[in-house]
Amino acid sequence: MVAAFLFVAVTGSLVKQAVASGLPTAVVVFFESLIPLLAVTAWHLRRGLKKFSLPSGRYGLQFLQGSLAFFTSYLMYLAIRTVPVSSGVLLNSSAPLFIPVISYFWFRRRLSPGLIAAVAVGFVGIVLILDPAAGTFARPGILLALASGVAVAFDDIVVGLLDDAGTEREDVTLFFVFLMTALLSGLFAAPVWKTPRGAQWIYLFAAAAGFLFIELFLVRSFSFAPVAVVSPFMYFGVVFAGVIDWLAWGEVPGLRMLAGVALVVGGAVFSILGGAGPPSRPGLDGNTPPGIIGPER
């Protein structure tokens, strides 16, 4: 899990560099997902075209989850054009705070007093980070990063519904994640298309490799330990991103931001430990991890 979110921080920074070099965000996301899609497709074709198979009993949910995965990445990458990568990673990782709220309205899942308190603490931290008095709405990057966290929450819930089937293969789900992310980002990229040149290709291939490693390490982490044990380690990504912000851009968070980070991380961790994971079916606790750019499956 720590390795996965090291790649989250590094990949976010690579995307920020690629966008700063003049590439539209949608073009970056397109190549970031197209290259892993080709790699996963090649893996599926290793035994020949006749044995190529993507079995699923819930293709509708697979397409929905893949589409949500696109927005979890795209919104965060739009955000980090104008805000520190650490802020984008943190708010993208705030999904555990939104999952209980969404589950309450979607599944009528009851919220325990402890879970309500944890979510409330996390939202206080978000308010500190947003800092409405300082004119947050003039910095839409923060709001975009927060929207990416909401998208991650919906994405995790849909993954929980997929897991409930008990028949969905992880490699098939990954294929649909990369497929839908590539298709949707391609549609967004078409009107603003710019062909990458020179060093831009290095950023794109490195970001694509990072995206692939994020997904692979996430899958492996949850095969070794329960969600409640490993999920809190996702917030190492905020530390890694903060170090990168400091070294690459000289950005140092203030006391208000640090206090907000502490409250969001604390609230989210207690939400995870209190069973805020997406339900595998209405009314039951699930075992699907809260996630991120991709991070999330």
- HEC readout, the chain: CHHHHHHHHHHHHHHHHHHHCCCCHHHHHHHHHHHHHHHHHHHHCCCCHHHCCCCCCCHHHHHHHHHHHHHHHHHHHHHCCCCCHHHHHHHHCCHHHHHHHHHHHHHCCCCCHHHHHHHHHHHHHHHHHHCHHHCHHHCHHHHHHHHHHHHHHHHHHHHHHHHHHCCCCHHHHHHHHHHHHHHHHHHHHHHHCCCCCCCHHHHHHHHHHHHHHHHHHHHHHHHHCCHHHHHHHHHHHHHHHHHHHHHHHCCCCCHHHHHHHHHHHHHHHHHHHCCCCCCCCCCCCCCCCCCCCCCCC
Is 87 a member of any domain? yes
First-to-last C-alpha distance (Å) of the chain = 12
282 falls within a domain: no
Whether 188 is covered by a domain: the verdict is yes
Q: For 282, list phi and psi in degrees, rounded to 5.
A: -50, 130
Q: How many domains does the chain have?
A: 1
| Reported confidence tier of residue 167, pLDDT bands at 50, 70, 90 | low
pLDDT in tens, 199-209: 999 999 999 99
Predicted pLDDT at 291: 39
Per-residue pLDDT band at 29 (split at 50, 70, 90): very high
Does residue 278 lie within any of the structural domains? no
Q: What is the mean pLDDT of residues 161-176?
A: 76
- Write out pLDDT tens, residues 255-282: 888 898 899 999 888 888 776 555 544 3
Q: Whole-model pTM? A: 0.83
Per-residue confidence band for 297, with pLDDT thresholds at 50, 70 and 90: very low
**Residue 145 binned pLDDT confidence (cut-offs 50, 70, 90):** very high
Q: Which pLDDT does position 218 carry in this prediction?
A: 80
**293 domain-assigned:** no
289 within domain boundaries:
no
Q: What are phi and psi of 274, to 5 degrees?
A: -90, 5
Which structural domain range is residue 140 located in?
Answer: 2-273
Tokens matching residue 272 = 């995870």
Is residue 19 assigned to a domain?
yes
- Overall average pLDDT of the 182-186 stretch: 96
Q: What is the mean pLDDT of the chain?
A: 83
Residue 37, domain member (yes or no): yes
Q: Taking the C-alpha atoms of 140, 235, 295 and 198 in order, what is their torsion angle to the nearest 10 degrees?
A: 70
